[in-house]
Amino acid sequence: MVVKGIEAWNFAFERAGFKNAVIAKIQPDDADWDAGDIRYNVVRWSNSPEPAFSGYGPSIANPRTGE
């Protein structure tokens, strides 16, 4: 479901002239790439209501708007 939602952005990118601009993959245990590598954009999601050790980050918020 998450992969389909991410790849649904391809419709908008195709209208702008970019084909297959977004590719979503589930990272396998034996991946030859690192999700922390700045060459890749990564979306991480968790299905647990409990935060991971030391929380999630990084995040930046505008103190005036909360955005």
At 15 the pLDDT is 96
Full residue range of the structural domain in which residue 19 is found: 1-46
Cα gap 35→32, rounded to integer Å: 10
pLDDT of residue 14: 96
pLDDT of residue 30: 93
Joined tokens for residue 58? 């990084």
State residue 13's pLDDT score: 95
Global confidence as pTM: 0.54
- pLDDT for the residue numbered 40: 84
Q: How many CB atoms lie within 10 A of CB 11?
A: 9
Tell me what pLDDT residue 55 has.
60
Q: For the segment 13-59, what is each residue's pLDDT rounded down to a tens digit?
A: 999 999 999 989 888 889 888 888 888 888 877 777 776 665 666 66
The answer to whether residue 24 sits within a structural domain is: yes
Percentage helix, strand, coil, to 5, in the chain? 20, 0, 80
| Domain contains 60 | no
Please count the residues of the chain: 67
Count of structural domains within the chain: 1
